[in-house]
Every structure is written in structure tokens, then in C-alpha cells.
Amino acid sequence: METAPNFTDTGNGPASIPAAGDKGDNTMDADIRYPENTVGKPLVDDAKMRMRDVNVFYGDKQAIFDVSLDIGNNEVIALIGPSGCGKSTFLRSLNRMNDTIDICSVKGELTLDEQNIYDPKLDVVELRARVGMVFQKPNPFPKSIYDNVAYGPRLHGLASKRYELDEIVENSLRKAGLWDEVKDRLDQPGTGLSGGQQQRLCIARTISVSPEVVLMDEPCSALDPIATAKIEELIDELSSQYTIAIVTHSMQQAARVSHRTAYFHLGRLIEVNETNKVFTSPDHQLTEAYITGRFG
Amino acid sequence: MSKTTEQVRKTLARRYRAEKRFRAMGMASVLFGLMAVVVLFTDIIGKGHSAFVETYIQLEIRWDQDELYIDDPTDPDELAYADYDALIKNALRERFPSVEGRLEKRNLYKLVSSGAGYTLRDRLAENPQLLGTTETLWLLADDDVDRYLKLGQEAQESARLPEQARAWVDELVQEGSTDTRWNASFFTHGDSREPEQAGVWGAVAGSFFTMLVTLALAFPIGVAAAIYLEEFAPKNRFTDFIEVNINNLAAVPSIIFGLLGLAIFINLFGMPRSVPVVGGLVLTLMTLPTIIISARASIKSVPPSIREAALGLGASRMQVVMHHVLPLALPGMLTGAIIGMAQALGETAPLLMIGMVAFIVDIPGGPLSPATVLPVQIYLWADSPEASFVSMTSAAIMVLLGFLIMMNTLAVVLRKRLERRW
């Protein structure tokens, strides 16, 4: 459950506030910790997705406060921040996965290629075909490896002939770096693969419908370092064709794979900058406190 | 030795004792349950096994045209209405020539089942050339004779057979003119006032048609309701209200459903009484909550990550349900449905209310012909005064239990089969 205490609550909030105050900064004023506007460069010229003044509510509770952010074409943007800061919630509003939660409501302007994605006229099926998602836990269908990857194309009727489908499946598995490992056992259950292989299968499944944007919600949190390295390598390769937004708890991972990094704190977007800058000389003290391990 | 270790050692023995006690209690509970089952089964099988055989008496039958009052042997009508009982009476009188007087003779005629005449009629209809010949036939004995012979030496005193008749039967036995044979009619006949002619087939057919109607209605409706409530319905006060009421419905005494069926299906809609369609409708109402609750539970057990994966790929809610949720939840749903059906198969009370307790001799030909069902048949027989119905009742219970065990086994097998798909 995402929580976002009010300004006045933050003084008693967990760990974060004293940590920021200890930095020698005497001003305990909330304005300092929560900048009026996001620090850094949240907006870009060549944007694939634009988000303006996004507020997300779970019933009465507000999880996201006035977030404005652009995701550029073919860039990898990492969303980092302590647990419960709203980064997953934000990510899930980008392909309207939050629609499945009854009490969740999203306010603000979110566009994909200048098209409002919360427009009632826009079909959510089409949106999700264009904005794919990879989840935290590998979640292959209890079907064969082939059927797992072929599910999306079949759903949208992307292949009319068997060989076309075969081609899509092979290409997707190749891009996900899984083809050589599974090409002899495509008819075996996808759930029989190892955790890392399952996650790459899920990535293959996501890219099988050729989405424009791929959202990844902590894709490596359930994987060992070797599998993680493979996925990161894969993200690097995919970034030439896809726009990728990745939520991660590992700052090394964010540093390794992303071009830009956005730091979320208690539902607010604190800072967005080039990844290098965020990890070497962050503009905001909260970001610095987080990346130096003071809290989170 | 540290203080902790000391303390732990002290309590160790007590802990082991407690564990042993707990295990013994568990074992005792299981044994008690098993014993109850064993007692039930020995009692039922002990009482019921004798109903699967019946006694036949050997008699010399003279196919006498005059006795039968048949003028024209080619006329099927005349053959059908001829007096076949007279042949049997003749044969009995010839077999025991010393019997005199009306009362004694009546007792004598009662040795053979009243249905034996029909056996002769059928036999003559098949072989008309028998007319005028004499042959030795095995004829079904009356249930009192049957009962007398099945009882042990001491218990024979209590049989309903008159004193004289016992002597006749003993004589027949000594001559080897009696025989016990497999009671095929028990499985092929409908109900009858005469225990030796009664069978469960009518009730089995009635149960079959009733279950057919129940399954055809309850499963689709139950699954659809469960899917709607789990996957589509918004979570608000109204759906909470529905949920509470479904759970309440599961606990409503079944006779209430019978009264409801009587009031609505028969009185309001004017549907016929005693028919499996109405029985099936009533049992559908009764089974629905069970099916809905178990279907909802199995839908809930489908991991949400599967739904998210499909939704994330752009599947509509309907496609998520049809492609992923339903196949994964089906084993649980089927198990629930079969258990619900087994419950419905054993249900008596609501069917009494809608007239399926009527005495029906014909085998029902479809869901619209009057019928009774197995548990009601058991109830009817248990209520009958003839001593032979005691064993018939137990035999019918064995048939019902057989079906129940079959259905529950099917539920287990189906679950194992379908769940093994990864």
C-alpha cells in the first residue's frame, strides 16, 4: 500500500526527515525538502510520453503529488526511491494498469505521442499493446514457452500464418537472449524455466507485440546476480529500439542501465537528471541522502 | 551448562509428552471416524446383501388352453388377458393334493409371487406352440417364502409365513424344488407393492433425469455468477449484500427449497407434479450456493500475477477470464460442482414437497414423466410394512452409496488430472 503523508506529517515521518536535517542544514522548513518544482531537468524536447501534474489517489489517500515528467524517445529512464514512495504506482499509471484497482484514480495529463492516454475514447487494449509491462515477479502463463510468447500476437492478430507467428516468437526470444537456451523445448511449460529465464521469457512476451514503450517494475528483484546481469545487458540492447522506464531498488542497476534517473520521495518527484549527475553530484539533498544510503 | 540449556532440558520431556498426547488424540479421532464408517457399512451390507438374491420354486405347469380361457390362440388380445394365475394355482394344487378348504388353498396360492402370472404370459407370447404341453418351470416365490428361507433356523419363528405354509416350503426345500438366484429384477424393475417384484431402476432413472436438469442449470449459472462476482462486479455495498445472501442460502434447510418449488414452480407456473424437471429446478436452487462458493474460491486462488500479465499484454477482461482464469480455476470448479451434485443426489426433503414421493411403478422415460429418486425410494421402502423391504432398503442404500462414491472419486480424479497441467 502506497502511503503519502501530508506536509505537516512529515516531521514525524520515518527515518527520512532527521536524516535530511542532520546534514548540517538548519532549516527544518518543509519547502526545502519538498521543492515546489522538481529539481533538475524533468522535461525533454523529444518526448515519447509526457506527464503533467499527475496526482494519483487510492480512495482518500494520495499516493502521487503533482508529478511532471517527460520520457524521451529511445531513452532508458530509471525511477528510484525508498519503498512506498509511489514509483510503482506512477509506472502503473503509464499503461493504465491502475484501472484494475477499483479505488485508484489518476488525475492530470498523461500523453503518449501527444495523445491523452486517459481519454475515454482511447481503447485501453490499444494502449497496453503500445506500452508493454514487465512485472516484479516473473509471471509466465502456465502454458508452453511458445504459447507464452505467441499469446500477445495471437490476441492482437499480428500473425495470420503459422510461419509468421513462428518468426515473431523466434525474434522475440532472440531479442530477449533466450532463444539458444529454449529453442529445442519450445513446447515445454514456461513455468519449468529458472527464475532468470522466466523473467527473460516475460520480456520476450512483452516485446512480441512490438510495443513502443516498455515499463519494467523491479524486473530483477527476484533474480540472482548472474540473471540480473543478463537482464541488464538485455535492457541495454533493447534501448536502441524501445523507450524503457524501469523501477529499481538497486542504485547500481539504475546507474548501469539508465540514461536519466528520477528520484521519488513520499509521492513527490524530487529530482530528475542525467544518471551520471544524479549519482555523482545530485542537486537535491534528499537525493543525496538516499543515494548515500542514509535511508531507503 | 548454561542456564538456558538447563531450562530447555527440563521442559523437553514435558514437550514430548504433550506432542505424544496430541498425536494420540488425532489417531483416536481418525479411528473413531473409521469405526463409524465400518459400522455403517457392515450394518447396511449385512442387512442388504440378501436382497440381491431371491427364491424360486419349481412347478410343473400345464399350458391348458381351457384353463386359460383362450379360444383363439392367434389373437394377441386374448393371450394378454388370459388367466395365467389359474395355471399356477392348478400346478400348486397338483403339487400339494392334500390341501383342502378355501383358507388353506389361499395360503397355498400365496407361495408364488403374484407377478409370476406375467412371467407365464410373456413366455407364452414368445412361444405360442407351448399351448397344450407340460413343462417344469422355476417361478418367483412370494416375499414371505423368500424371507422365511433367508432367515436363520431360530429366527424363522418370527417369519410372517403361516404355519402350514412353512411345512409346504420345507417339503419343497427337501425335494430340491427351491432355488436362490441373482435378483436381476432389483436392477431392472420400478417400484412395486410386492417386495419380490420391486426394483430400483425407476428411482435410478428418476435420479438421473433430476441430476441432468440440476447439472445443466446449476453449473453454468453458478460459474457465471462466480465469474461475474469475482472478476467484473464492483466491490460495493450491493455486491457485499449479494455475497452475504449467497452464504445464507447455503445454510437454508433444504425443505424450504422444496416449499419454494411447490409455491413457485408448481402453483404459480403450473408445472406438473412429481416430475424430474421440477425436482431438478429445486435442487438447482439448493446446489447453486455450493457451486458459487467453491467456484469463487477457485477463481480467487488463480494468482493475480497471471491476470496482470495478460492485462499488460492488452487482453480485455473477458479474454483474461476465458484464456487464463477459467482454465486454471476449472478443476476447483468441477470438484465443487460434483460435490454439490453428490449432495443433491442424496437430497430427500425438498422432493417430498413437490410430489416426487408418489408411488410410481413405471420407469420414467424423460425429465417430464413422473418419477421418484433414489433417496426418496429408500424413504418409501423404509416406511413399508413388509419385512422384506428392510433388506431392500439397505440394498437401495448400497446402490445410492455406490453412486456417491463414484461421483466423489470422479471429483478427485478430475482434479488430479486437470491440475497436473503444470
Report the length, in residues, of chain A: 296
Structural domain contains residue A232: yes
3-class state of residue A118 by DSSP:
coil
Q: What is the rounded CA–CA span in Å between residue B275 and residue B296? A: 32
Specify the higher pLDDT residue, A42 or A25. A42
* Per-residue model confidence (pLDDT) at position A35: 64
Q: Decide if A155 and B313 are in contact by the 8 Å CB cutoff.
A: yes
Structural domain contains residue A74: yes
Residue A140 with chain B: CB contacts under 8 Å = 309
Q: What is the rounded CA–CA span in Å between residue A36 and residue A264? A: 14
What average pLDDT does the segment A1-6 reach?
42
Q: pLDDT at residue A26 above 90?
A: no
**High-pLDDT (> 90) share of chain B, %:** 48
The residue among B230, B313, B317, B319 with the most chain A CBs within 10 A of its CB, best to mutate, is: B313
Taking phi over 0 as left and psi of -120 to 50 as alpha, with beta for the rest, B53 belongs to beta
Q: What is the rounded CA–CA span in Å between residue B237 and residue B7? A: 55
Structural domain contains residue A14: no
At B319, list the grid cell: 479474454
Residue indicated by cell numbers 445443466: B216
Domain tally, chain A: 1
In chain B the domains, ranked by start, together with CATH numbers, are 55-181 (no CATH), 201-419 (1.10.3720.10)
The complex's ipTM works out to: 0.79
3-class state of residue A245 by DSSP:
strand
Q: What is the DSSP letter of B363?
A: P
The strands making up B134-140's β-sheet, listed across from edge to edge, are B134-140, B53-62, B178-182
The residue among A97, A122, A139, A154 with the most chain B CBs within 10 A of its CB, best to mutate, is: A139
Residue type, B205: A
Q: Decide if A206 and B323 are in contact by the 8 Å CB cutoff.
A: no
Shortest alpha-carbon distance between residue B316 and chain A (Å): 7
Average pLDDT, chain A: 83
* Per-residue model confidence (pLDDT) at position B261: 92
Beta bridge partners of A135: none
Shortest CA distance to A206 belongs to which of A260, A141, A121? A141
- Residue A191 contacts residue A140 (beta carbons within 8 Å): yes
Interior CA angle at B326 toward B323 and B328, to 5°?
Answer: 95
Give, to the nearest 10 degrees, the angle between helix B102-109 and helix B84-95.
110
* Per-residue model confidence (pLDDT) at position A42: 82
- Residue B59 contacts residue B92 (beta carbons within 8 Å): yes
Indicate which CATH number applies to the domain containing A64. Answer: 3.40.50.300
* Per-residue model confidence (pLDDT) at position A125: 86
Task: Using only the alpha carbons of chain A, give its radius of gyration.
Answer: 20
Q: What is the rounded CA–CA span in Å between residue B314 and residue A261? A: 28
Report the length, in residues, of chain B: 422
Residue type, A42: P
Interior CA angle at B301 toward B297 and B305, to 5°?
Answer: 145
Range of the domain at A255: 40-141+214-291
Q: Decide if A140 and B309 are in contact by the 8 Å CB cutoff.
A: yes
At A292, list the grid cell: 548515500
Per mean pLDDT, which of A185-189, A272-276, B29-33, B247-251 is the most reliable?
B29-33
Q: What is the rounded CA–CA span in Å between residue B197 and residue B183? A: 10
Q: Decide if A192 and B305 are in contact by the 8 Å CB cutoff.
A: no
State which residue of chain A sits closest to B236, comparing Cα positions: A102
Q: pLDDT at residue A16 above 50?
A: no
Structural domain contains residue A97: yes
CA B123 to chain centre: 31
- End-to-end, the C-alpha distance of chain A in Å comes to 16
Instruction: Give the tens place of pLDDT for each residue, B211-241.
Output: 999 999 999 999 999 999 998 888 889 989 9
Instruction: Give the tens place of pLDDT for each residue, B290-340.
Output: 999 999 999 999 988 898 899 988 888 899 999 999 989 998 899 899 989
